[in-house]
Amino acid sequence: MILPYDELNNIEERLVEESFDIEAEDGTKKRRFNVEACIDIVLDALIMAYVYGVDYANETLGTEIPPTKAEMREAIYKKIADKDFEQRVREYAEDGKLPEIMRVVETDMTRVFNEGSLTTATEAGAQSKTWITMNDDRVRDTHSYLEGMTVPLDAEFYTFDGDQASAPGGFSMAENNVNCRCILAFG
Protein backbone atom coordinates (compact mmCIF):
# COMPACT_ATOMS: atom_id res chain seq x y z
CA MET A 1 0.00 0.00 0.00
CA ILE A 2 1.45 3.31 -1.04
CA LEU A 3 -0.83 5.48 1.05
CA PRO A 4 -2.92 4.55 4.04
CA TYR A 5 -6.62 4.12 3.29
CA ASP A 6 -7.42 7.24 5.30
CA GLU A 7 -5.28 9.31 2.90
CA LEU A 8 -7.07 7.83 -0.13
CA ASN A 9 -10.37 8.59 1.61
CA ASN A 10 -9.12 12.14 2.19
CA ILE A 11 -8.39 12.49 -1.53
CA GLU A 12 -11.84 11.16 -2.39
CA GLU A 13 -13.49 13.55 0.09
CA ARG A 14 -11.58 16.48 -1.43
CA LEU A 15 -12.77 15.45 -4.90
CA VAL A 16 -16.39 15.18 -3.70
CA GLU A 17 -16.11 18.68 -2.22
CA GLU A 18 -15.32 19.88 -5.73
CA SER A 19 -18.48 18.34 -7.18
CA PHE A 20 -22.01 19.61 -7.55
CA ASP A 21 -25.24 18.25 -8.96
CA ILE A 22 -26.98 19.76 -11.94
CA GLU A 23 -30.43 18.93 -13.22
CA ALA A 24 -30.50 17.47 -16.69
CA GLU A 25 -33.23 18.26 -19.23
CA ASP A 26 -34.99 15.00 -18.33
CA GLY A 27 -35.15 15.99 -14.65
CA THR A 28 -32.43 13.64 -13.44
CA LYS A 29 -29.48 14.92 -11.47
CA LYS A 30 -25.98 14.59 -12.82
CA ARG A 31 -22.74 15.10 -10.95
CA ARG A 32 -20.26 17.63 -12.27
CA PHE A 33 -16.83 18.53 -10.97
CA ASN A 34 -14.64 21.59 -10.81
CA VAL A 35 -12.26 20.03 -13.33
CA GLU A 36 -9.20 22.17 -12.60
CA ALA A 37 -9.55 21.61 -8.84
CA CYS A 38 -9.75 17.83 -9.43
CA ILE A 39 -6.59 17.93 -11.52
CA ASP A 40 -4.81 19.86 -8.75
CA ILE A 41 -5.95 17.35 -6.09
CA VAL A 42 -4.71 14.40 -8.15
CA LEU A 43 -1.45 16.20 -8.95
CA ASP A 44 -0.87 16.72 -5.20
CA ALA A 45 -1.44 12.99 -4.63
CA LEU A 46 1.00 12.04 -7.39
CA ILE A 47 3.69 14.38 -6.06
CA MET A 48 3.22 12.78 -2.65
CA ALA A 49 3.47 9.29 -4.19
CA TYR A 50 6.71 10.15 -5.98
CA VAL A 51 8.27 11.55 -2.80
CA TYR A 52 7.12 8.45 -0.88
CA GLY A 53 8.78 6.28 -3.54
CA VAL A 54 12.05 8.20 -3.22
CA ASP A 55 11.85 7.97 0.58
CA TYR A 56 11.12 4.22 0.41
CA ALA A 57 14.16 3.56 -1.81
CA ASN A 58 16.40 5.78 0.34
CA GLU A 59 15.27 4.01 3.50
CA THR A 60 15.78 0.51 2.10
CA LEU A 61 19.14 1.36 0.52
CA GLY A 62 20.50 3.57 3.31
CA THR A 63 20.90 6.58 1.03
CA GLU A 64 19.74 10.20 1.08
CA ILE A 65 19.15 11.02 -2.58
CA PRO A 66 16.66 13.91 -2.97
CA PRO A 67 13.92 13.84 -5.59
CA THR A 68 14.43 16.11 -8.59
CA LYS A 69 11.63 18.16 -10.10
CA ALA A 70 12.48 17.08 -13.65
CA GLU A 71 12.36 13.35 -12.87
CA MET A 72 9.20 13.81 -10.79
CA ARG A 73 7.48 15.72 -13.58
CA GLU A 74 8.48 13.11 -16.15
CA ALA A 75 7.07 10.30 -13.99
CA ILE A 76 3.84 12.14 -13.19
CA TYR A 77 3.09 13.23 -16.77
CA LYS A 78 4.06 9.95 -18.44
CA LYS A 79 1.48 9.02 -21.05
CA ILE A 80 -0.32 5.72 -20.73
CA ALA A 81 -2.42 4.77 -23.78
CA ASP A 82 -1.60 8.21 -25.23
CA LYS A 83 -3.04 10.12 -22.24
CA ASP A 84 -1.36 11.60 -19.20
CA PHE A 85 -3.08 11.68 -15.80
CA GLU A 86 -4.39 15.19 -16.41
CA GLN A 87 -6.14 14.20 -19.63
CA ARG A 88 -7.74 11.15 -17.96
CA VAL A 89 -8.87 13.13 -14.90
CA ARG A 90 -10.26 15.91 -17.11
CA GLU A 91 -12.27 13.41 -19.16
CA TYR A 92 -13.73 11.65 -16.11
CA ALA A 93 -14.37 14.88 -14.18
CA GLU A 94 -16.23 16.39 -17.12
CA ASP A 95 -18.41 13.25 -17.20
CA GLY A 96 -18.97 13.28 -13.40
CA LYS A 97 -17.30 9.89 -12.88
CA LEU A 98 -15.82 9.81 -9.37
CA PRO A 99 -15.00 6.05 -9.35
CA GLU A 100 -12.98 6.47 -12.54
CA ILE A 101 -11.11 9.47 -11.12
CA MET A 102 -10.27 7.42 -8.03
CA ARG A 103 -9.04 4.56 -10.23
CA VAL A 104 -6.68 7.04 -11.93
CA VAL A 105 -5.51 8.23 -8.49
CA GLU A 106 -4.77 4.73 -7.19
CA THR A 107 -3.29 3.38 -10.43
CA ASP A 108 -1.09 6.37 -11.17
CA MET A 109 0.05 6.65 -7.55
CA THR A 110 1.42 3.10 -7.76
CA ARG A 111 3.17 3.85 -11.04
CA VAL A 112 4.63 7.15 -9.83
CA PHE A 113 5.69 5.66 -6.46
CA ASN A 114 7.55 2.88 -8.28
CA GLU A 115 9.15 5.24 -10.76
CA GLY A 116 10.39 7.41 -7.88
CA SER A 117 11.80 4.40 -6.06
CA LEU A 118 13.40 2.96 -9.23
CA THR A 119 15.00 6.29 -10.18
CA THR A 120 16.43 6.60 -6.67
CA ALA A 121 17.67 3.02 -6.63
CA THR A 122 19.39 3.60 -9.97
CA GLU A 123 21.10 6.74 -8.68
CA ALA A 124 22.09 4.85 -5.51
CA GLY A 125 23.82 2.15 -7.56
CA ALA A 126 21.48 -0.75 -6.70
CA GLN A 127 22.17 -3.82 -8.80
CA SER A 128 18.84 -5.65 -8.84
CA LYS A 129 15.12 -5.29 -8.29
CA THR A 130 12.55 -7.79 -7.07
CA TRP A 131 8.82 -7.73 -7.81
CA ILE A 132 6.68 -7.76 -4.65
CA THR A 133 2.90 -8.22 -4.71
CA MET A 134 0.44 -7.74 -1.85
CA ASN A 135 0.21 -11.57 -1.91
CA ASP A 136 -3.56 -11.66 -1.48
CA ASP A 137 -6.56 -12.81 -3.51
CA ARG A 138 -6.76 -9.46 -5.37
CA VAL A 139 -3.37 -9.93 -7.10
CA ARG A 140 -3.90 -10.60 -10.81
CA ASP A 141 -2.38 -13.73 -12.35
CA THR A 142 0.16 -11.80 -14.45
CA HIS A 143 1.54 -10.20 -11.27
CA SER A 144 1.42 -13.40 -9.19
CA TYR A 145 3.64 -14.84 -11.90
CA LEU A 146 6.18 -12.08 -11.17
CA GLU A 147 6.04 -12.37 -7.34
CA GLY A 148 9.59 -12.63 -5.98
CA MET A 149 11.21 -12.46 -9.43
CA THR A 150 14.58 -10.68 -9.32
CA VAL A 151 16.17 -9.10 -12.38
CA PRO A 152 19.06 -6.68 -12.95
CA LEU A 153 18.07 -3.08 -12.20
CA ASP A 154 18.04 -2.06 -15.86
CA ALA A 155 16.10 -5.15 -17.03
CA GLU A 156 12.40 -5.52 -17.75
CA PHE A 157 9.89 -7.82 -16.08
CA TYR A 158 7.97 -9.98 -18.59
CA THR A 159 4.50 -11.36 -17.95
CA PHE A 160 3.16 -14.58 -19.43
CA ASP A 161 0.73 -12.55 -21.57
CA GLY A 162 3.63 -10.89 -23.42
CA ASP A 163 3.63 -7.55 -21.63
CA GLN A 164 6.73 -5.99 -20.09
CA ALA A 165 7.60 -3.22 -17.65
CA SER A 166 10.59 -1.92 -15.73
CA ALA A 167 8.39 -1.49 -12.62
CA PRO A 168 4.80 -2.01 -11.44
CA GLY A 169 2.42 0.35 -13.19
CA GLY A 170 4.61 0.64 -16.29
CA PHE A 171 3.09 -1.99 -18.57
CA SER A 172 1.86 -1.22 -22.06
CA MET A 173 -1.47 -3.00 -21.50
CA ALA A 174 -3.87 -1.15 -19.21
CA GLU A 175 -5.21 -4.36 -17.67
CA ASN A 176 -1.76 -4.96 -16.17
CA ASN A 177 -1.64 -1.47 -14.61
CA VAL A 178 -5.14 -0.63 -13.38
CA ASN A 179 -5.38 -0.89 -9.57
CA CYS A 180 -1.92 -2.46 -9.31
CA ARG A 181 -0.54 -2.37 -5.74
CA CYS A 182 2.84 -4.01 -6.38
CA ILE A 183 6.19 -2.49 -5.41
CA LEU A 184 9.88 -3.24 -5.92
CA ALA A 185 12.57 -4.29 -3.49
CA PHE A 186 16.18 -3.48 -4.32
CA GLY A 187 19.47 -5.27 -3.90
Q: Tell me: the pLDDT tens digits for 77-125?
A: 998 888 999 999 999 999 999 999 999 999 999 999 999 999 999 999 9
pLDDT tens for each residue of the chain, 187 residues long: 455 667 888 999 999 999 888 888 888 888 889 999 999 999 999 999 999 999 999 999 999 999 999 999 999 999 888 899 999 999 999 999 999 999 999 999 999 999 999 999 999 999 999 999 999 999 999 999 999 999 999 999 999 999 999 999 999 888 999 999 999 999 9
- 132-136: long-range contacts, CB 8 A cutoff, minimum separation 24: 132/182, 132/183, 132/184, 132/185, 133/181, 133/182, 134/1, 134/181, 134/182
d(CA 110, CA 85): 13
d(CA 17, CA 69): 29
Number of structural domains (the chain) is 1
pLDDT at residue 6, as a whole number = 75
Domain residues for the domain of 68 are: 5-186
Sign of CA dihedral 107, 113, 114, 116: positive
Distances (CA, A) of 27 to 19, 21, 124: 18, 12, 59
Q: Is the pTM of this model over 0.85?
A: yes
